[in-house]
Amino acid sequence: MTPAAGAVRIGNCSGFYGDRLAAMREMLSGGELDFLTGDYLAELTMLILARDRAKNPGLGYAKTFLRQLEDCLGIALDRGVKIVANAGGLNPAALATAVRELADRLGLTVNVAHVEGDDLVGRAEELGFGNVLAANAYLGAWGIVDCLNAGADIVVTGRVTDASVIVGPAAAHHGWSRTDYDALAGAVAAGHIIECGTQATGGNFSFFTEIPATDGVFRPGFPLAEIAADGSSIITKHAGTGGLVSPDTVTAQLLYEITGARYANPDVTLRMDSISLSPDGPDRVRVDGVRGEAPPPTLKVSLNSIGGFRNATSFVLTGLDIEAKAELLQRQLESSLTKRPAELEWTLARTDHPDADTEEAASALLHCAVRDPDPATVGRQFSSAAVELALASYPGFTSTAPPGEGQVYGVFTPGYVDAGLVPHIAVHADGNRVDIPAATETLVLAPADEPPSPPPPADGPTVRAPLGRVAGARSGDKGGSANVGVWVRTDPQWQWLAHTLTVDKLRELLPETAELEVTRYVLPNLRALNFVIDGILGKGVAYQARFDPQAKGLGEWLRSRCLDIPERLL
């Protein structure tokens, strides 16, 4: 289907560092594009890149981006597709140089620009962030816009917000001003939808069984957005690719890693409660009605530091007396440690079934994790104590793998800094450096007013059933916290969900959240509720405080929990 007149067609080929390598070629060869973008950065990725840079000051960027360009740079230039990616990580200047060297080896002429200024590690103490391995402010889109307006074919950035790699091309194409808040917010919405790649086209989707497989294999294509001059967009994918684009797949991604009705970006605050979705043909969803407000006066800062050393092992407990076996092992191992680690955590996963027909189904797992500033305390001491119990503990003693040496773990914490204190610099291919000023019109971020509740649902017979019979969910990590977005498809289901799934009910369904701070946000336009659970991930993904350290399965756990659902909604 032909995009609307004047719309800019922006595709995405990466949702994380490690995504499908072939995606860049697939997107460039699969259909028409004006821009191709890629998101390579996450909180954990910044820690990985910081450790790369510590070993080699010339590194600190996503090396897979270069591998993709080696295969695809010629195609992009032939098709006139400009590329914008945050693959520069902690060293965008080095990546820009590497791209130029690659182009020279390939005999290609390419204009490469980059955006820098986000790296605040040298000023961390001055800004009150303490001694950290990496400190990166989330920049916005205007440095990208400046580079594109100066003729760049490729723009690589450091830590910009995920949506900014999409907002920049849209703003450059349409000539938006910095106060075109509704248009900018529309581009942020489109960017948020497509920046995680195939999560917008059926990947990690609650209702995946409804998506037909292509040639017997489920391989979703990457998404693209046709963004109009007013900021409205069509979310779609190249014809003939797998997966699905529907209001449900788009809703799922809109709910990913957000909080409430206000979604702050450095250039605009998107009102999530203004978004309207509607089908626009097969694999096409219209996103319109989007409203924006002035951005907040501060920028979020990603702070990564080394927390110490950790180790872990998992013991297999089979058959009868599971809890007694776990108690015996716990007492034995702890008494064998000459120095108790600063943190020692036990988790018993009752994966066993009575009268099981396989040994695995008859077994539970007892996990033990230790952390300490001293590598020896969680290394040889812990490992030896665990291994030495092999013939002296519970019947059937075995483990999934013996523990090894202690490994360094990272800690993520968010920080905030006045936007005016952060340099934002567009560096053109000729070396010209352009300072991008911070926004002059700002609005302090505050919670939006709670929308009115829908009328209470009518009474009627109920059935005990999993929540997932009527609701989809998407969950993810935000530092040490997690969000769980839950949505339904019909107005009667929404009436029931809004009145039923309270914070208290969520705590009842997910006992792990019982002692944590939980905030509920209501998004009627999406028939959705979003819950933010503070502290469930400890000190971030690298800290690995729970079985699912990125909370990716938290929403599916919630969907599996049973409650009384009106028969008429099933």
| pTM given for the model | 0.95
183 and 41 both lie in a single domain: yes
The answer to the question of residue 382 being in a domain is yes
87 and 227 both lie in a single domain: yes
Say what the pLDDT of residue 2 is.
59
- Spatial separation of the C-alpha atoms in residues 515 and 522, rounded to whole Å: 22
Q: How many CA atoms lie within 13 A of 233 on its CB side?
A: 33
For the chain, how many structural domains are there in total? Answer: 3
For residue 325, what is the domain's CATH number? 3.30.70
The answer to the question of residue 451 being in a domain is no
Contacts of 434 (CB under 8 A, 6+ apart): 143, 146, 150, 425, 426, 427, 428
pLDDT in tens, 260-311: 999 999 999 999 999 999 999 999 999 999 999 999 999 999 999 999 999 9
Residue 319's pLDDT band (cuts 50, 70, 90): very high
Tell whether the model's pLDDT for residue 4 goes beyond 70: no
- Spatial separation of the C-alpha atoms in residues 310 and 406, rounded to whole Å: 5
Say what the pLDDT of residue 54 is.
87
419 and 473 both lie in a single domain: no
Closest CA to 111 of 84, 90, 142, 89: 84
Residue 540's pLDDT band (cuts 50, 70, 90): confident
- Spatial separation of the C-alpha atoms in residues 484 and 472, rounded to whole Å: 10
- Spatial separation of the C-alpha atoms in residues 165 and 35, rounded to whole Å: 10
> Are residues 133 and 410 in contact, defined by beta-carbon separation less than 8 angstroms?
yes
The answer to the question of residue 2 being in a domain is no
Beta bridge partners of 373: none
401 and 489 both lie in a single domain: no
For residue 491, count other CB atoms closer than 10 A to its CB.
11
Averaged pLDDT score across all residues of the chain? 96
323 and 336 both lie in a single domain: yes
Categorise residue 215: left if φ over 0, alpha if ψ from -120 to 50, beta otherwise.
left
Q: Which helix (H) or strand (E) covers residue 122, if one does?
A: none
The answer to the question of residue 449 being in a domain is no
Tell whether the model's pLDDT for residue 216 goes beyond 80: no
Q: Which of 130-134, 245-249, 451-455 has the highest mean pLDDT?
A: 245-249
Domain that holds residue 491: 462-569
257 and 341 both lie in a single domain: no
480 and 553 both lie in a single domain: yes
- Spatial separation of the C-alpha atoms in residues 252 and 246, rounded to whole Å: 10
The answer to the question of residue 270 being in a domain is yes
Beta bridge partners of 160: 139
Structural tokens at position 283: 């694999």
Structural tokens at position 523: 């998004």
Say what the pLDDT of residue 261 is.
97
86 and 138 both lie in a single domain: yes
- Spatial separation of the C-alpha atoms in residues 439 and 180, rounded to whole Å: 12
> Are residues 153 and 72 in contact, defined by beta-carbon separation less than 8 angstroms?
no
The answer to the question of residue 74 being in a domain is yes
347 and 421 both lie in a single domain: no
Contacts of 29 (CB under 8 A, 6+ apart): 75
Spell 249-288 as b/e; 16+ CB within 10 A means b.
Answer: bbbbbbbbbbbbbbbbbbbbbbbbbbbebeebeebbbbbb
- Spatial separation of the C-alpha atoms in residues 208 and 218, rounded to whole Å: 9
pLDDT in tens, 56-78: 999 999 999 999 999 999 999 99
pLDDT in tens, 331-366: 999 999 999 999 999 999 999 999 999 999 999 999
Structural tokens at position 214: 């292509």
262 and 287 both lie in a single domain: yes
Contacts of 301 (CB under 8 A, 6+ apart): 120, 127, 129, 135, 136, 137, 138, 414, 415, 416, 417
Q: Number of helices and strands (H, E) in the chain?
A: 14, 26
Percentage with pLDDT > 70 across the chain: 99
The answer to the question of residue 313 being in a domain is yes
The answer to the question of residue 337 being in a domain is yes
Residue 461's pLDDT band (cuts 50, 70, 90): very high
246 and 323 both lie in a single domain: no
For residue 367, count other CB atoms closer than 10 A to its CB.
16
190 and 70 both lie in a single domain: yes
3-state secondary structure 303-354: EEEEEEEEEEEEEEEECCCHHHHHHHHHHHHHHHCCCCCCEEEEEEECCCCC
**Which of 411, 446, 476 marks a domain boundary?**
411
- Spatial separation of the C-alpha atoms in residues 234 and 236, rounded to whole Å: 6
- Spatial separation of the C-alpha atoms in residues 204 and 485, rounded to whole Å: 13
pLDDT in tens, 466-518: 999 999 999 999 889 999 999 999 999 999 999 999 999 999 999 999 999 99
